[in-house]
């Protein structure tokens, strides 16, 4: 079982989806309407670039000390889904943009 | 495409002329009929004459002219006279313009009810009713608390196409343009039309006709079309004025005529609907959304299901009676109400088995009129439709009583099977035709169904 969990944690970066209510999104809207929330999840081990390795080495050699840097690629949306509209509990319509991921990648 | 060519080669050149020797016309859409007419010099010149006759003149003045009268008589024999249009077809507006260019000259013009320029609805109504019934009976434990309109919104949000077009009309219809004007009504209507034209009815009808037990649900249902922009207005016009406005627009006029054809109260049927066809009525109701005659629920009450266009009969003068009659086709229409309730409850038409004649005549009529165009193959499955309902619903009803888990697809495919194979069901194709070419067409058109069945 631990093996399975470990393998799941090492899945490459990909799009996943969840059915959630608008209220659960925590954006301050109160609505029981269900929307599809797509997000990016997975590792980016295979996407390590020379940039990342060099940056890591610069940090190890203390050439970069104080700045905040990220020396690993990160699984993030490359593009976002179209707008999502919904009716809230007070019967007002709202439209939110860039709510859901459309395409993922290691950036 | 191949089927189309085969049918035409079988039918021979006679089907392209005005009429074949058996009085059997090729039913074509008006765009095609116009092309056929244009290819014939006598037809095209008469058609040109008639259009000139009609331009800017009323019917009586026109008929006083002998040349106009002759043109009209000749055109009544041409394929243009019988032609119809399809909802959401390519060149729909052009098709309707051709239709009305002839029919405004044939009818009295100011008729109360006008015939629909659209082909009769022959889609498989049981399919969407079945869907509705599956959803409404989905979760018996939470049934008392469930909100079908919320479920419908969920179903739409989880479908890419429905979600996209719903968000498109909602964002268009809720966009403020200036402090004085709430929204761009024209754009809102257009976005609504796209939603109802391009999203399958199993999604749109569920949003529009969901059944409600509490006010929150009914208010959500009322809000479906964003009434603050698409429906309400500063003033409520007189209904007859609104009708006249609608009749100046070919599309609005056609959708209204379609509503009057399919939702007109019929005393000969059990459901009060013409041909007991709920689907046709719901479809033509939804077809008016996004035009001047846009109907909606007048309030969020759960008990009375009242819909109306945004108009009243105030200021009707001596036309009060006609105005009330027009308005009552919306507000007090048992056919429309039954259709909405039946869809919301997931119950279909249940005809008693001893009265099978009305659905069969309907099937006969519609199948004769469906043209052998390539994009029509999927729609021409009328043969098994209405006559099947009885068996299917009775099984579903029994299961509902027994509270068993349902297997409606099995029910449907079985009845499909029997109707497809039953030889007497096919005779409709041969009814008027004396040559065997049409029975060949019947067998050919049955091929797609057999394939569909195999896929099931």
What pLDDT, in 10s, does the model give residues B147-170?
999 999 999 999 999 999 999 999
Q: How confident is the model at residue B128 (pLDDT cuts 50, 70, 90)?
A: low
Q: What is the pLDDT of residue B421?
A: 35
Query: In angstroms, rounded to a whole number, what is the distance separating the alpha carbons of residues B255 and A45?
Result: 59
Quick check: B382 and B122 in contact, CB under 8 A? yes
Q: Within an 8 Å CB–CB cutoff, is residue B223 touching chain A?
A: yes
Query: In angstroms, rounded to a whole number, what is the distance separating the alpha carbons of residues B277 and B116?
Result: 15
Which of A33, A85, A91 is the closest to B171 by Cβ? A85
pLDDT value at B398 more than 60: no
ipTM above 0.90, yes or no: no
Q: What is the pLDDT of residue B145?
A: 63
Per DSSP, A90 falls in state: T
Nearest to B359 by CA among B449, B274, B266, B260: B274
B204 vs B145 pLDDT, higher one: B204
Q: Within an 8 Å CB–CB cutoff, is residue B152 touching chain A?
A: no
* Residue B328 to residues B139, B342, B411, Cα–Cα distance (Å): 37, 20, 38
| Cβ neighbours of A15 in B, within 8 Å | none
Q: Within an 8 Å CB–CB cutoff, is residue A87 touching chain B?
A: yes
| Cβ neighbours of B171 in A, within 8 Å | 83, 85, 95
pLDDT value at B132 more than 80: no
* Residue B36 to residues B23, B103, B433, Cα–Cα distance (Å): 18, 18, 22
Q: Could you tell me how far CA B345 lies from the centroid of its own chain?
A: 21
Which of A91, A93, A95 is the closest to B219 by Cβ? A91
B323 vs B55 pLDDT, higher one: B323
Which residue of chain B has the CA closest to A94? B171
B127 vs B177 pLDDT, higher one: B177
Please compute the mean of the pLDDT values over residues B86-101 and round it to a whole number: 90
B300 vs A3 pLDDT, higher one: B300
Q: What is the pLDDT of residue A76?
A: 97
Q: Within an 8 Å CB–CB cutoff, is residue B170 touching chain A?
A: yes
Please compute the mean of the pLDDT values over residues B105-114 and round it to a whole number: 71
Most confidently modeled of B4-18, B328-342, B361-375, B423-437?
B328-342
Residue A61 C-alpha, separation from nearest chain B C-alpha, in angstroms: 50
- Are A33 and B167 within 8 A, CB to CB? no
Which residue of chain B has the CA closest to A22? B154
- Are A95 and B171 within 8 A, CB to CB? yes
- Are A83 and B167 within 8 A, CB to CB? yes
Q: What is the pLDDT of residue B243?
A: 95
Q: Within an 8 Å CB–CB cutoff, is residue B250 touching chain A?
A: no
pLDDT value at B456 more than 70: no
| Cβ neighbours of A36 in B, within 8 Å | 157-158, 163
Q: Could you tell me how far CA B368 lies from the centroid of its own chain?
A: 17
**Tokens 């608390």 appear where?**
B145
Beta bridge partners of B118: B85
Q: What is the pLDDT of residue B399?
A: 42
pLDDT value at B205 more than 80: yes
B441 vs B202 pLDDT, higher one: B202
Length of chain A counted residue by residue: 107
Q: What is the pLDDT of residue B391?
A: 36
Which of A19, A34, A85 is the closest to B170 by Cβ? A85
Please count the residue pairs, one from chain A and one from chain B, whose beta carbons lie less than 8 angstroms apart. Answer: 46
pLDDT value at B376 more than 70: no
What is chain A's mean pLDDT, rounded? 92
Please compute the mean of the pLDDT values over residues A10-38 and round it to a whole number: 95
Please compute the mean of the pLDDT values over residues B40-57 and round it to a whole number: 82
| Cβ neighbours of B167 in A, within 8 Å | 82-85, 95
Q: How confident is the model at residue B280 (pLDDT cuts 50, 70, 90)?
A: very high
The residues, any chain, with a CB within 8 Å of residue B228's CB and separated by 6 or more, are B173, B182, B183
Please compute the mean of the pLDDT values over residues A63-92 and round it to a whole number: 94
- Are A33 and B226 within 8 A, CB to CB? no
pLDDT value at B13 more than 80: no
Q: What is the pLDDT of residue B182?
A: 82
Q: How confident is the model at residue A6 (pLDDT cuts 50, 70, 90)?
A: low
Please compute the mean of the pLDDT values over residues B184-200 and round it to a whole number: 96
pLDDT value at A83 more than 60: yes
Percentage of chain B modeled with pLDDT above 70: 61
Which of B157, B170, B223 is the closest to A35 by Cβ? B157
Q: What is the pLDDT of residue B388?
A: 34
Most confidently modeled of B242-246, B401-405, B446-450?
B242-246
- Are B153 and A86 within 8 A, CB to CB? yes
What is chain B's mean pLDDT, rounded? 73
Lowest mean pLDDT among B234-238, B340-344, B349-353, B354-358: B354-358
Which of A34, A91, A95 is the closest to B154 by Cβ? A34
Q: Which long-range contacts (CB under 8 A, 24 or more apart) does A9-14 make?
A: A9/A43, A10/A43, A10/A45, A11/A41, A11/A42, A11/A43, A12/A42, A12/A43, A12/A44, A12/A46, A13/A40, A13/A41, A13/A42, A13/A43, A13/A44, A13/A47, A13/A75, A13/A104, A13/A105, A13/A106, A14/A40, A14/A41, A14/A42, A14/A104
Q: What is the pLDDT of residue B129?
A: 56
Q: Within an 8 Å CB–CB cutoff, is residue B232 touching chain A?
A: no
- Are A82 and B164 within 8 A, CB to CB? yes
Percentage of chain B modeled with pLDDT above 90: 42
pLDDT value at B41 more than 80: yes
User: Between β-strands A14-21 and A84-87, what pairing exists: parallel, antiparallel or unpaired?
Assistant: unpaired
**Tokens 């079982």 appear where?**
A1
| Cβ neighbours of A93 in B, within 8 Å | 170, 173-174, 223, 226
Lowest mean pLDDT among B35-39, B219-223, B230-234, B380-384: B380-384
Q: Within an 8 Å CB–CB cutoff, is residue A84 touching chain B?
A: yes
Q: Within an 8 Å CB–CB cutoff, is residue B163 touching chain A?
A: yes
Q: Within an 8 Å CB–CB cutoff, is residue A22 touching chain B?
A: no
Q: What is the pLDDT of residue B122?
A: 62
């Amino acid at each position: 079982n631990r093996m399975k969990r470990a393998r799941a944690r090492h899945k490459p970066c990909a799009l996943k989806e969840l059915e959630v209510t608008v209220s659960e999104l925590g954006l301050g809207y109160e609505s029981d309407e269900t929307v599809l929330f797509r997000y990016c999840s997975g590792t980016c081990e295979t996407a390590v670039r020379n940039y990342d390795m060099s940056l890591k080495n610069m940090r190890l050699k203390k050439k970069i000390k104080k700045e905040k840097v990220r020396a690993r690629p990160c699984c993030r949306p490359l593009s976002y889904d179209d707008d999502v509209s919904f009716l809230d509990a007070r019967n007002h319509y709202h439209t939110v943009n860039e709510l859901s991921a459309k395409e993922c990648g290691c950036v | 495409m191949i089927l189309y060519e085969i049918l035409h080669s079988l039918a021979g050149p006679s089907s392209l002329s005005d009429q074949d020797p058996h009085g059997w016309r090729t039913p074509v859409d008006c765009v095609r009929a116009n092309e056929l007419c244009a290819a014939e010099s006598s037809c095209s010149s008469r058609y040109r004459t008639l259009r000139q006759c009609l331009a800017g003149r009323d019917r009586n003045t026109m008929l006083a002219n002998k040349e106009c009268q002759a043109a009209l008589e000749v055109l009544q024999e041409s394929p243009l006279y019988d032609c119809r249009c399809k909802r959401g077809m390519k060149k729909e507006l052009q098709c309707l313009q051709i239709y009305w260019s002839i029919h405004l000259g044939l009818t009295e013009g100011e008729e109360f009810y006008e015939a629909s320029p659209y082909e009769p609805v022959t889609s498989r109504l049981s399919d969407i009713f079945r869907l509705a019934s599956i959803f409404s009976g989905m979760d018996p434990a939470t049934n008392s608390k469930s909100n079908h309109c919320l479920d419908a919104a969920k179903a739409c949000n989880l479908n890419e196409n429905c979600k996209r077009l719903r968000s498109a009309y909602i964002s268009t219809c809720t966009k403020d343009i200036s402090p004085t004007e709430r929204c761009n009504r024209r754009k809102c209507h257009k976005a609504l039309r796209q939603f109802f034209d391009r999203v399958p009815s199993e999604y749109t009808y569920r949003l529009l006709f969901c059944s409600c037990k509490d006010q929150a649900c009914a208010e959500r249902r009322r809000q479906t079309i964003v009434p603050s922009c698409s429906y309400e207005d500063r003033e409520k016009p007189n209904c007859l004025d609104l009708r006249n406005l609608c009749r100046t627009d070919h599309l609005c006029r056609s959708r209204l005529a379609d509503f009057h054809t399919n939702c007109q109260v019929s005393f000969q049927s059990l459901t009060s609907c013409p041909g007991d066809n709920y689907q046709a009525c719901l479809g033509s109701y939804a077809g008016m959304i996004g035009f001047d005659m846009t109907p909606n629920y007048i309030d969020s009450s759960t008990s009375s299901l009242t819909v109306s266009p945004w108009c009243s009969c105030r200021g009707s003068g001596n036309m009060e009676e006609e105005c009330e009659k027009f308005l009552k086709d919306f507000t007090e229409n048992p056919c429309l109400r039954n259709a909405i309730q039946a869809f919301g409850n997931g119950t279909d038409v249940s005809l008693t088995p001893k009265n099978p004649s009305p659905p069969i005549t309907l099937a006969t009529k519609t199948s004769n009129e469906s043209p052998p165009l390539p994009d029509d193959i999927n729609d021409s499955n009328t043969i098994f439709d209405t006559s099947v309902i009885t068996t299917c619903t009775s099984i579903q009803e029994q299961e509902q009583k027994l509270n068993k888990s349902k297997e409606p697809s099995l029910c449907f495919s079985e009845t499909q099977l029997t109707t497809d194979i039953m030889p007497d069901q096919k005779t409709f194709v041969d009814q008027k035709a004396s040559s065997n070419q049409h029975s060949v067409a019947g067998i050919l058109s049955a091929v797609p169904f057999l394939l569909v069945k195999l896929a099931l």
